[in-house]
Amino acid sequence: MTDVEVPVAMHAVIFDMDGVIVDSEPYSMRALIEVLREHGIDPTPEDLQRSYGRTIREDFAHYFRKYGVTADLDAAIVRKHARYCQLAAGQLKPFPGVMALVERLRRHGYRLGLASSGSQAKVVLGMHALSINGIFDTIVTGDDVTQSKPHPEIYLLAARRLGVEPAACVAIEDAPAGVQAAKRAGMRCIAVTNSVARAQLLEADLIVDSLTADLSPVLSLSILRITPSDPPDAAALPGDRSAE
């Protein structure tokens, strides 16, 4: 008799912030490059790719070690955040489809978490800009963990705070380190190609170019159906046969 794999019902969705919910990475990367250059570091494209998903402290510590810089780490972090705030002021917007997806998940009873390697100050800035305070059941930032993605700590902590087993969580990510962190935590993962190429996200269970895409291979079809509580003009996500 062969074992039959029984699908695990998904009860929670945990979002990354930058590059998934808010289109902030261009401003964050520009601020990082400017501060690194102030310290005589000219990062390569490969360097910058590895910055996605790391906490700001671990990121600067890595660059300073690699390039032999002995400057004050805390001062560099403060400078980068200040420059990011200047660049991002009035510019932050949500990615297409993300707010509609969040609302639909909430209506269908999913627990929602946020697991961002960004500092608490950066996350708060993004949430205020998008007016999404109070949407998530738990928020974990880079200030809450000791290990950066791809270590699974941030996702395990988010699941524990949500009261949901990791196997019943779906993570939504935009970077290889984030995908690896989610998978190492035992979660399913949807990767969106907002920040890096599809070829760098192959460990994800599903790769999409936008959160307006059909997510039903990973998320229950029930969230893709129009319900009586939906506004009459609510658009069905692709794959929503109830709207055909």
Rounded to an integer, the average pLDDT of 57-63 is 92
In terms of domains, do 18 and 32 share one?
Answer: no
**Taking a C-beta distance cutoff of 8 angstroms, is the pair 23, 94 a contact?**
yes
Average pLDDT, the chain: 87
> What is the C-alpha separation between 37 and 212, in angstroms, rounded?
37
Residue 228 scores a pLDDT above 50: no
The phi and psi torsions of 17 (rounded to 5 degrees) equal: -100, -70
In terms of domains, do 148 and 218 share one?
Answer: yes
Identify the sign of the CA torsion 235, 236, 238, 242. negative
Rounded to an integer, the average pLDDT of 8-36 is 93
**Taking a C-beta distance cutoff of 8 angstroms, is the pair 41, 102 a contact?**
no
> What is the C-alpha separation between 80 and 33, in angstroms, rounded?
9
Total domains in the fold of the chain = 2
Q: Residue 233: its pLDDT value, please? A: 32
Quick: pLDDT tens for 122-167: 999 999 999 999 999 999 999 999 999 999 999 999 999 999 999 9
3 is catalytic: no
Quick: pLDDT tens for 107-117: 989 999 999 99
18 is catalytic: yes
The one catalytic residue in 18, 59, 137, 174 is 18
What is the number of alpha carbons within 13 Å of residue 28 lying toward its C-beta? 25
% of the chain exceeding 70 in pLDDT: 87
The one catalytic residue in 16, 23, 59, 137 is 16
Q: For residue 7, name the pLDDT band (cuts at 50, 70, 90).
A: low
Q: Is residue 154 part of a domain?
A: yes
Rounded to an integer, the average pLDDT of 195-213 is 96
DSSP 158-216: HHHHHT--GGGEEEEESSHHHHHHHHHTT-EEEEETTSS-GGG-TTSSEEESSTTS--T
**Taking a C-beta distance cutoff of 8 angstroms, is the pair 21, 15 a contact?**
yes
Q: Residue 80: its pLDDT value, please? A: 94
Q: Residue 6: its pLDDT value, please? A: 44
> What is the C-alpha separation between 116 and 121, in angstroms, rounded?
11
Q: Is residue 150 part of a domain?
A: yes
Q: Which domain holds residue 140?
A: 12-23+93-226
CATH of the domain at 115: 3.40.50.1000
Last residue of a domain, one of 42, 60, 88: 88
